[in-house]
Amino acid sequence: MKSIYLDNAATTPMLPEVVEVMRQSMQENFGNPSSTHQFGRKAKASIERVRKEIAKELNVSSSEIIFTAGGTEADNLIIKNAVENLGVKTIITSKIEHHAVLHSIEFLVEKYGVELVYVDVDEFGEVVLDDLEDKLSRIDGKVLVSLMWVNNEVGNLLPLKEVSDVCKRYNALFHSDTVQGIGHYKLDLKATPVDFITASAHKFHGPKGVGFAYFGKGFGIQPMIHGGNQEKGARSSTENVHAILGMGKAFEVAYENLVVDTDYIKGVKKYLLDELRAISSDIQFNGMSSDLDKSTYTVLSVRFPVEDKMMLFNMDLQGIAVSGGSACQSGSNKGSHVLSTFLNEQEAKKTSVRFSFSKYTIKEDLDIVVNFCKNRFLSK
């Protein structure tokens, strides 16, 4: 039986060149970056090179990039720092954010009494910018707006520049969870000012367990992890040299091949979209995921016209790996908090499947998936 992987929004397979960079590092670059001898200096120079390359692509200073263990830690570091160190009293977010953001904010509400305000989303899960501006205009004191760039479940694209402009008008800090966007879209943080962003290497064919946070210049950082004051005092713990180098290679390859890969993956998504539409007009698409301009090219969220609790299980039995929502909560039976936010109860009960693509996705695999869906749907 052939294995078909269509869960790239959960994680992507590592590139061979990333594996090779990490292998070489494990064998030849084992020094502690905090050591002053030649082995330590070599390791330190290697991770600083990666930091500079990431910063150059984002058009920021390398001092503004902090390496972390992934996107969740980066989100936590930014949001908690905003409250505990930067004096934020109110946080505006949406109900369709990743739990790395939502649960962090809920913790701060309980611990510090932070005011939590949810911005409206429409029937497609799009943030209502007029409502964001209205809410900002009514709040006194320091505010953090936290809205994700690319929704991990339905693929909606937030208009970063427009949100940034609104935040600047009201002197609000702006954090965006950009985990699903970094490595897939160009982002110039001078042209599109965002105060804080996050990234995770395994979303763009790098290793798991490593990512970074961007803190705009001038924002002090109090660490969550105390110890040896690594990462300019922002994150104590010996840097994961091999993973950082792997992330650097994945980041480099992603942006070197961005145009070609984007065109190819967008074609793959359109192919599956068209094939599913051909099965039945009753098959619908969640959020903006069927709009190739307003959603990421890597995600297609499909809502089938029936409730089929065994669909994902049976797809797995056929070797097809997909997700019903965020893989971060795949063990939960509560359903998708994203879909339940903007779908009515009847629609939310129907079976939704998130297909997510990479440059390794091929149309021949999608034909097998379409046949499975056709047979499954027609049997109901």
30-67 tens-digit pLDDT: 999 999 999 999 999 999 999 999 999 999 999 999 99
pLDDT score recorded for residue 325: 58
| pLDDT over 60 at 380, yes or no | no
Average pLDDT of span 349-354 = 93
- Cα–Cα distance, 137 to 240 (Å, whole number): 43
pLDDT score recorded for residue 378: 67
Q: How confident is the model at residue 72 (pLDDT cuts 50, 70, 90)?
A: very high
Region of 349 (left: φ > 0; alpha: ψ -120 to 50; beta: rest) is alpha
Rg from Cα positions in the chain: 21
- Cα–Cα distance, 26 to 376 (Å, whole number): 47
SS3 88: coil
Beta partners for 213? 66, 198
Q: What stretches of 29-98 show up as alpha helix (H) in DSSP?
A: 38-58, 71-84
pLDDT score recorded for residue 331: 46
Find out whether 289 and 338 touch, Cβ atoms under 8 Å. Answer: no
| pLDDT over 90 at 252, yes or no | yes
Beta partners for 356? 7, 299
Parse the chain into domains and list their residue ranges.
4-12+257-378, 16-256
- Return the H-helix or E-strand segment holding 143: strand 143-146
CATH architecture of 16-256: 3-Layer(aba) Sandwich (3.40)
- Cα–Cα distance, 276 to 210 (Å, whole number): 36
- Cα–Cα distance, 87 to 143 (Å, whole number): 9
Question: Tens digits of per-residue pLDDT, 221-248?
Answer: 988 889 999 998 889 899 999 999 999 9
Q: Could you give the C-alpha distances from 82 to 70, 119, 145, 151, 350, in angstroms and in order? A: 19, 19, 10, 22, 39
Question: Tens digits of per-residue pLDDT, 319-337?
Answer: 999 998 544 444 445 678 9
Active site residues: 328
Q: With b meaning 16 or more CB within 10 Å and e meaning fewer, what string describes 297-313?
A: bbbbbbbbeeebeebbe
Place of tokens 């960079």: 21
> Could you give the angle at the alpha carbon of 293 between the alpha carbons of 268 and 118, nearest 5°?
115
- Cα–Cα distance, 191 to 202 (Å, whole number): 26
**Residue range 4-12+257-378, CATH number:** 3.90.1150.10
Place of tokens 């609104």: 166
Length of the chain: 380
Nearest in space to 266 (alpha carbons), one of 223, 299, 232, 219:
299
